[in-house]
Amino acid sequence: MGAVIQAVERLSTNSDLVADGSRGNTLPTVVGKHKDLNAIAPETMSEVLNGSFDQHIDQLTVIDCRYPYEFEGGHIRGAINLFTKDAVQNFLNETVTSQDMNHVIIFHCEFSSERGPKMYRHLRSLDRELNKESYPRLNFPEVYLLEGGYKAFYHQFKNQCFPQTYVPMLKQEHANDLRHFRVKSKSWAAGDKPRHRSRVVTTGRTVRLAF
């Protein structure tokens, strides 16, 4: 229990650490809309793709949480399309990780306002549950959200998108697709809200458990 308390204190007092407290963030972060999530600017995303952080990143996964018609209409080069919670869980279960390997994950959706943050939190929740007996260990401790989402990135770095186009979620010609995938993904399910941080209570004080 003492080791857990120490880990909680370290994580709660140092926001520059990855979520298991093992090292500092590889990428520079920005203050985003979602205060509980690490966010990066589109410029940083571009630098990552250009290899500026290759010496610090062993593996990179960019997870695009938009619906398939949006993804097929233009996405960040190398990104994968995971728009359901089941798909995120399968990714966690099927991806081989190592404590010695720095696997960086970057989530986003169209604006990174709802779908991307939701899947980021879902992955972290699943990862915490998977490693609950060895807190604060995580399979994926270094996760980020692309601030502004695909729209912001596309308008600044169109050359790093494929194809070099942008299909908005609310594009009229995809109204039927939107209804289909919205139901399938349950992105706006009632009661699905950001998690509150848990708490570990010690003698005479309260320490927040880092999400």
pLDDT digits (tens, 9 = 90+) for 14-64: 568 999 999 999 999 999 999 999 999 999 999 999 999 999 999 999 999
Residue 197: what pLDDT? 42
The residues near 33 (Cβ < 8 Å, ≥ 6 apart) are 39, 112, 113, 147
Domains in the chain, please, with CATH? Answer: 26-189 (3.40.250.10)
**Residue 88: pLDDT over 50:** yes
Report the distance separating Cα 86 and Cα 151, nearest Å.
Answer: 25
CA 73 to each of CA 116, 163, 174, 198: distance values in angstroms, whole numbers, following the listed order = 18, 7, 11, 39
Q: Give alpha helix (H) positions in the chain.
A: 2-13, 42-49, 68-72, 85-94, 115-130, 149-156, 175-185
Instruction: Report the catalytic residues.
Output: 109
Q: What predicted TM-score, i.e. pTM, was given to this entire model?
A: 0.84
